Amino acid sequence: MNNIVNLRLRYFPFPGRAGAIRDTLTIGEVAFDDLHTTFEQYGELNATNALPFGALPVLDVETETGKVSAAQSNAILRYVGRLSGLYPVNDDLQALKVDEALGMGEDIYALLAPSLHEQGTERKMVMRKTLAEETLPEWAGYFERLLVANGSTGFVVGDSLTVADLKLYWLCKFLVSGDLDGVPTNLLDNFTTVTIWFKNIATVRKARLASAG
């Protein structure tokens, strides 16, 4: 393990793909600089090719031997999960299931992206209707099955909190926030196991953050 001198997370000033990363480091009591990047600053960074893949989040890891910058929220989550004890390091199968759930989260974000970028209101709302009535319920059904297959423990993998819970918690919170015009806040209500999981993670997350001080 490289000795970390400094960790810096760069993301916009809202949870998005960074909520789970911030939570994981906080719960693990791993010190980090939480740099909130404005859209203007992001534009400048992107214009100068200062971001690995032209997107945020980016984690800058300074060690005794140099500095590494990495993008891709799932890669960052696995790394900070290992630092914080929220990623299974001694169980390959549990790690596989955590990775599977992280990938599912990114698949869903990718499905949301076109309507988030769409400027035309009418076209945006057509996309949102398909998302609300077809695409997102289909994925919520997959998620419900995944949770049931894990034994309906209230966690995505096994019976304790992992980075997969935090990633999907923030994603589901966004989906039902009302911020996505056309996507109803009761989107997940018919998915009983998802709803129980969501409430459990909200409670566990709060308690773990509080006990981290």
Ligand X SMILES: N[C@@H](CCC(=O)N[C@@H](CS)C(=O)NCC(=O)O)C(=O)O
Residues of this chain that interact with ligand X (CB under 6 A) are: 16-17, 55-57, 71-74, 106
Pairing of strands 33-36, 4-11: parallel
- Closer to ligand X by CB, 17 or 205: give it: 17
- Closer to ligand X by CB, 180 or 204: give it: 180
Do residues 2 and 65 lie in contact, with contact meaning Cβ atoms separated by under 8 Å?
yes
Q: How far is the CB of 208 from ligand X (least distance, A)?
A: 23
- Closer to ligand X by CB, 72 or 94: give it: 72
Q: How far is the CB of 180 from ligand X (least distance, A)?
A: 14
Q: How far is the CB of 79 from ligand X (least distance, A)?
A: 13
Q: Determine the Cα–Cα distance for residues 87 and 5; give it in Å rounded to an integer.
A: 22
Q: How far is the CB of 89 from ligand X (least distance, A)?
A: 22
Residues 6 or more apart whose Cβ sits within 8 Å of residue 87? 77, 78, 81, 95, 98, 162, 163
Pairing of strands 66-70, 58-63: antiparallel
- Closer to ligand X by CB, 57 or 88: give it: 57
